[in-house]
Structure 1
Amino acid sequence: MTDILTSARETISRDTSFQSTASRLSALQPLFDEIAADSATRDGERVHPLDVLDKLREARFGAIRFPVEDGGYGASWRETLGAIVKLGEADSSVAHVFRNHLLVSERFITGREPGYNPKWREAVLRGEIIALATTELDRKQTGGKGGLKTLLTPDGDGFLLNGTKFYSTGTLYAEWTLVRATGPGEEDLSVIIPADREGVERVDDWDGIGQKVTGSGTTNLHNVRVAADEIIRDDRPYVQPFSSTIAQIVLTAVNAGILRAVLRDSRALVLGRTRNFYFAPAPVAADDPLLQQTIGRIASEVFAADHIIAATGDVFDIYARARDAGADDETLIRLAHDASVAAAKAKVIIDEFALRSANAAFEVGGATAATLRKNLDRHWRNARTLSSHNPSAYKAQLLGAYDLNGTTLPTLGFF
């Protein structure tokens, strides 16, 4: 394993030896394969992926979008989402941990963005992970602005942070977490603080049917000290349209990875079968046209999902290039909306593919597929949990309103 990590690190740093981002990213594949080997066990026994995340830190996977000259991979969004698909295929819970990391770190990717503490960027380039703690169950609405009961109050030369957050994905494992709060004067703001700072209590109480080891439990904040330079006050609303869209497409890319894992495991089930039903069209499972049809359909959905993710990545790259070139706000708002539309369409289709194929996998394996030792049901449970995060029905309806009437998509989260 040490050799794998050494190879990955050297691939990033020796740009003269590896001339393309694709080559740098390909060095991660042995690590992804290693992660995949124990994925079913981690899910079945609810083993936190601490060692796995340490290996990804060593490989600086979280700096995938950052410039090569700064120690990152220099990946485009097309390439980044492709890597998330592959990591999601290996272990969907591990890939999910980087969802919030990518949406937060994108906001200071160049190092020239105003209002961000340089230490956060330096941490990402070291391989450290930034998580998120924003959701409040006793709030009147899900997402949007205002109404947060977590408070940031002045105290001496700094501030104190108090409140409770739920679904704090990744915070259990991360070095840093972004917390949304209500500040003085009812101001909506965010802070990024060390996740192990005194007063931060991370509770391992996530009990979902899927994505069991994403570190998505409760975060209690008890008089947590916050310095002034740890506060984010954006000129735009907290949830910048593009950064919110990142969160959505990463989840969809993870579901595309689950779809690939379904194909992998379904193929292995068929090829591993030593008998078939006496009334089946063929005595050998791999020669059975009904099973071939099922595998062919899953393979077709994998093909389509991979291309949908790649095409969506291209739309994201158009926005990112315009932003980095200093485009005006009107242009960025339009391009951010294009990205939001693409991400929403991708979710509607890929969620359906993942759930349908995860169910179809049981058609090719017989009773063996339903055994706990196979843990094949984890694919459906994980895809179902990811899909439930932001229901496709709302996405499809709002996409229809946009297509028919030109009604723009929401911009304060979930799109």
Structure 2
Amino acid sequence: MIRIVLFAISALTLASTAASPAAAQVDPVARAMAAKALSVATAPTTMKTTIVGGEQPDTPAVSGASGTIGNSPIQVNGSAANDTGYLAFKYGADGKGVTNYWVKTRSPAMNGYAAVQNGDRIVVDLWQAGTGGQTGHVGGSRVTVDNAVFSAGEVAGRWALFTGTGVASSQVSKQYPVRYGTMNAIVANSYQQVIFPGGVNPALPSAGSNFGGWVVIGAGAASPGFGALKFLRSGAALLATPEAGAFEVDANARPYFTAADGVRRGVMLAETSDPSVSVLPGAGAGATVTIDANGNTGVVLLTTGPGPGSGPGSGPGSRPGAGLGAGDLFTVTYAHAYPSASYPVISAANAAAVALVRNGYLTATKTGFTVSVPIGPGDGPGAALPAGSYAITFNAPGA
């Protein structure tokens, strides 16, 4: 029996040697399809591949051809509903040109269209490079669903571009506190609002929320929270070491700029609402006061009344015709109080006010300032200055 088997093998060998070379050739199309089948068979079980199209593998491209290679050439199914999705390619000579479709669906079945949810990730592209022993982050992009409310065929989306930080999450330095290997450079939401930079992954506003600003400076909206340019106060901190050219805000949204000399200086914010003014008893009975201002800069016009000490012989220390008594004359109240204090400066805007500015004083707080005239030696409650109109300019910065 052993001899028969050996003879059979020998005969088969001779027959094979004598066969025509053409009969031993392998069809290249069949070979490509077999390789594809082997690849699918050894892929993870979560991968299902279906190829639909008119062109065979390894065949030349047809000039001017158009069409779609199936609805779902590649679909990835996972154990959870939010793991599902598929990739479709579109090629052709129509108005869209060459197009790739990355489709997210919560359906576990091929070509299913189960509704997605707010925050679902559609696709993440990761770009990495060799570091010698392994690969490290260079950057990537990510697209997610940005709103739970959508109509058929239209879904609000969010896009992020991120770059590698060059450090691992366990490393800490002055420039990079704790990072996660990548950091968002640009994040755009469904409102077309953009964050520069987008923050550390995954420290971003929740899906479906607006960022409070637009990338186009000057564009606004009727709804609150939509500003032309807006800094996020949460977690805002000034640089440990000021850097020339840096524009920063702190956690209270107070702005700072560091000039070429490396000194950080606070940016003064001009008040856009006008202050109010009120007359006080020291100005005399019947006194009036008006204000003309642009923000916390302007002029006050005080017209004194006859006062308790006016007229001849009206009281100890009184002067004939005097009307401006010693004491508090008027108070200017800012439309918006400063965070901590104000530092007003006053000056005379007419001849009569020279004596008032020279002899008077002011008391300032974060909410406003009061102009007063002290009681001098020999002066009673009667007037220290003659009756008349006093124009006083003021400039009241604050901190």
Instruction: State the TM-score, normalizing by the size of structure 1.
Output: 0.19
* Higher RCO, Cα 8 Å, sep 6+: 1
Which structure: greater strand fraction? 2
The structure whose Rg is larger is 2
